[in-house]
Amino acid sequence: GCAAFAAGGLFLRNQPVASAASLSTSSSPPSSGVNIAYLPSVSEAVDAIVNTCNKRYLYNVVSSNYNFLYHGLDPSEAKAPSIRTSQPCDLLNPETYGSDEAASYFADLDKSMTKEKSPVLPSNGHLATTCPKAASEWGVAVSIWPIGEEEVHFAWFADGGLFWPRNDGASQEVIVDGRDCGEIALDDALVGDNWE
């Protein structure tokens, strides 16, 4: 699903599970403007998930038999469980996919989703995938855990698959968790094979 993290998210490498008290440990913003707080242990990471993770997401992870969303991180930033905030949304930037066509596609999708009054858009969201192998194409595959209850939304295509490149003939219907009740639920999407 495409996920918007207003407050940031936890990123964990090779662990399915992350205290807000640990936020002060070795916080270092890299040149990208992302604020990173590394957690000293998996136990601290588990505590952070229990205490700060979006409860709807956590419920759906459990309901999906512990399927997660993954993101690829630069190896230098994937050294320990971390909490990341202020991560810029880059889907409208041609450099993200190295393609003006991709940036144009996401800009058009943004306009379409805005008309539908979607709370999550390419301009305010981040892509994640249900497949760690696909995430590893962008860096070290890490599970993500959105923080907070406000402004955390998920969206995916009705027939799953990648946002980019979108296969010819694939559905253009975007499901937004919490808005499109009766459609495919987040826990169903988490079980999907390589869904973004």
User: For residue 162, which of 195, 135, 128 has the smallest C-alpha distance?
Assistant: 195
**Inter-CA distances, 175 with 59, 92, 117, Å:** 18, 20, 12
Q: 122, 176 in Cβ contact below 8 A?
A: no
Can you give the pTM of this predicted structure?
Answer: 0.81
Mean of per-residue pLDDT scores for the chain = 79
Cα–Cα distance for residue pair 107/157, rounded to 1 Å? 16
What distance in Å separates the CA atoms of residue 144 and residue 87, rounded to the nearest whole number?
13
72-119 pLDDT, tens per residue? Answer: 888 888 888 888 877 788 889 999 999 999 999 999 999 999 999 988
